[in-house]
Every structure is written in structure tokens, then in C-alpha cells.
């Protein structure tokens, strides 16, 4: 990766290390979703966001990460993750009763804000926030280390990437996918999203299973399915050989080669599913 880009990236991720996908990942998810929503859904979303630009979803994809660090938005900080109390790499899994506390988690947040979007009694201001939260949280629940409790979702596991100090959570938020995409700007996010959309349409992944179990009347079950699948990558790709095997290791070489497939497919799934979810909210159909 070019050194300038790397410096920008590390400066960025160090202050947002617990922010789930970095801005780049969230913007890519939003752009992929824009590619797959129906035209009726696009109008529905644009009306709520008051934005008819070519990046109407990407523009608000990281709002929730800014909001959580304001005094008014502090209450929403726990909604960006779910602390699965499993034991990777031997045993992965999520359990709503165990892992989603009363203060909320990313799955209960999906339920709450989906219901607000579907209710005719929700104010326009509340719908605006709910839309921005749904666009963001569908992304968050696809990041494996946002549905994992171990070592604060990997934040306390020190590693290096291209020789620079960082942590495992940041590597999964940003370093791997930005190296694959070749940058971190909104323009690169658009280019990366377009190639991901093309790959989905070309059948690179078997998407038939991606929407199985998707039930707009049961956001909790749907969210748990998505979160459970993401959490599975903690055992197979994030720390398949345990924490000691990555601690202090530079993850930009063999580790990148072995595991880049995981953030790629997870961002593809998140964008594809976000589109289907918004289609269901707007029109009752997935396409
Ligand atoms: C649902 O969202 C509202 C904000 O719109 C928030 O005040 C409330 O705490 C949330 N409820 C749950 C159960 O997450
Ligand atoms: Zn987040």
C-alpha cells in the first residue's frame, strides 16, 4: 500500500478503532445497497434522507459513528456491536439472551429502528435517524469482531500492518479491505462497490442463501442469523489458531492472503442484504 495512504489510514483508524467497519467499509456497503434497491425503494429512502444525490446512502453511512461520540448520542454507543461470550477459536456462536444486554446491542437496534421505519406514527425526524441507523448497523453486524466479546472485539490484541502498530479490530475494520480496494476515499469506495456489485451479479458468490431466513416481521431472528454468520469468521479466519498466533504479528502478508476473502464477502453480503431489507420495509418485497 502506498505510504501516504497508509499514514492517512492509520491516523484515521486509531481514533475510531471501535467504530466497526471504518468509514470506507460503511460507504462501500451503502453504495452496494444503492445498486440493489428497487427504484421505488430508492425514492422511499431518498425522501426520508432528503437527498437525491448519487451517494444518498453513502453520505449517511457513518453518521452513527459520529453521533455515538456526542453527548446527545452516547446512549447509542452499545448498539454498534454484540459482545458474544463464546470461546474462539474452539467454539463460536451468538445467543441473544446471553449476548444482548438490556441497554441494547446491534441486533435489538435493527429491530427497534426497522419497526420505527415501518410505523405510520413515527415522526419524520425519528424516521431520518432510524434510516441512518439501519444503513449503518446492517454493516456493523457483518464485521466479525463487532459480534465478539474476546479482548474487546480484538481491540486489545496488538498487531502490526505494513510494519505500523495497530490492533486486530482495526485490521478487520479497515486495513484488509482498504488494501484490497487500494485506498480509503469515497471515490475508491464507489469503485470497489461497483466491482463488488458486478461480482455479485456475475455469480462470484452463491447468493441464493444470502436472503434465506430474512423475515421483515422478525428482525431479531434475521439479525441473529446475520450476526451468527459473521461471528463464525472469528473462529475460521480472524483467530483460527488462537490469539497467540496473531499477537505482535504483521498481518499484511500471509494473513492478508489467507483471510481477505472474509471481509470481501461480508461487505458484499451486508450491501446486498441492506438493499433487500430496505426493499422489504418500503415495498414488502425483497427485490
Ligand atoms: C429505540 O430507539 C429509541 C430512539 O429512537 C431509543 O430512545 C430507545 O432506547 C430504543 N429502544 C430500544 C429498546 O432499543
Ligand atoms: Zn458502528
Whether pLDDT at 266 is above 50: yes
pLDDT score at 5:
39
pLDDT score at 123:
98
pLDDT digits (tens, 9 = 90+) for 192-214: 999 999 999 999 999 989 999 99
pLDDT digits (tens, 9 = 90+) for 60-107: 999 999 999 999 999 999 999 999 999 999 999 999 999 999 999 999
Q: What percent of the chain has pLDDT over 90?
A: 91
Would the CB of 73 count as within 6 Å of ligand 1?
no
pTM of the model: 0.93
Number of domains the chain contains = 1
pLDDT digits (tens, 9 = 90+) for 214-230: 999 999 999 999 999 99
CATH code (residue 221): 1.10.575.10
Would the CB of 108 count as within 6 Å of ligand 1?
yes
Q: Is the dihedral of CA 36, 37, 38, 39 positive or negative?
A: negative
Closest C-alpha residue for ligand 1 atom 1:
112
Other Cβ atoms within 10 Å of 211 Cβ, number: 16
Mean of pLDDT values over 38-57: 98
Whether pLDDT at 1 is above 90: no
pLDDT band for position 21 (cuts 50, 70, 90): confident
pLDDT score at 20:
55
Ligand nearest to the CA of 113: 1
Whether pLDDT at 8 is above 70: no
With contact defined as beta carbons under 8 Å apart, do 132 and 76 qualify?
no
Angle at 111 between CA 105 and CA 112, to 5 degrees: 85
Distance from the alpha carbon of residue 193 to the mean position of ligand 1, in angstroms: 31
Distance from the alpha carbon of residue 57 to the mean position of ligand 1, in angstroms: 22
For 154, the domain range is 4-283
The residue from 63, 83, 136, 237 that is catalytic is 136
pLDDT score at 187:
97
pLDDT digits (tens, 9 = 90+) for 129-176: 999 999 999 999 999 999 999 989 899 999 999 999 999 999 999 999
- Of 51, 68, 69, which is closest to residue 60 (Cα–Cα)? 51
The SS3 of residue 164 is strand
Say whether 261 is catalytic.
no
pLDDT score at 22:
87
Beta strands 164-167 and 158-161, pairing class = antiparallel
Amino acid at each position: 500500500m502506498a505510504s501516504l495512504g497508509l499514514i492517512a489510514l492509520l491516523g484515521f483508524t486509531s481514533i475510531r478503532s471501535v467504530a466497526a467497519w471504518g468509514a470506507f467499509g460503511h460507504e462501500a456497503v451503502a453504495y452496494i445497497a444503492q445498486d440493489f434497491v428497487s427504484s421505488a425503494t430508492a425514492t422511499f429512502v431518498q425522501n426520508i434522507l432528503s437527498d437525491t444525490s448519487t451517494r444518498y446512502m453513502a453520505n449517511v453511512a457513518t453518521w452513527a459513528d459520529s453521533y455515538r461520540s456526542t453527548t446527545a448520542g452516547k446512549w447509542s454507543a452499545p448498539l454498534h456491536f454484540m459482545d458474544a461470550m463464546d470461546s474462539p477459536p474452539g467454539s463460536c456462536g451468538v445467543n441473544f439472551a446471553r449476548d444482548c444486554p438490556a441497554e441494547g446491542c446491534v441486533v435489538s437496534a435493527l429491530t427497534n429502528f426497522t419497526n420505527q421505519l415501518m410505523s405510520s406514527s413515527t415522526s419524520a425526524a425519528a424516521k431520518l435517524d432510524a434510516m441512518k441507523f439501519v444503513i449503518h448497523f446492517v454493516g456493523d453486524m457483518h464485521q466479525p469482531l463487532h459480534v465478539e466479546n474476546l479482548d474487546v472485539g480484538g481491540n486489545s490484541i496488538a498487531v502490526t500492518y505494513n510494519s505500523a502498530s495497530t490492533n486486530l479490530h482495526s485490521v478487520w475494520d479497515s486495513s484488509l479491505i482498504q488494501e484490497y480496494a487500494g485506498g480509503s476515499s469515497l471515490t475508491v469506495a464507489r469503485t470497489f462497490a461497483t466491482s463488488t456489485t458486478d461480482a455479485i451479479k456475475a455469480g462470484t458468490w452463491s447468493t441464493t442463501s444470502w436472503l434465506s431466513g430474512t423475515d421483515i416481521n422478525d428482525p431479531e431472528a434475521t439479525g441473529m442469523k446475520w450476526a451468527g454468520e459473521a461471528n463464525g469468521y472469528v473462529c475460521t479466519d480472524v483467530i483460527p489458531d488462537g490469539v497467540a498466533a496473531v499477537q505482535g504479528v504483521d498481518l499484511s502478508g500471509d494473513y492478508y492472503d489467507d483471510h481477505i476473502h472474509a471481509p470481501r464477502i461480508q461487505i458484499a453480503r451486508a450491501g446486498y442484504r441492506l438493499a433487500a431489507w430496505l426493499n422489504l420495509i418500503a415495498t414488502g418485497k425483497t427485490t
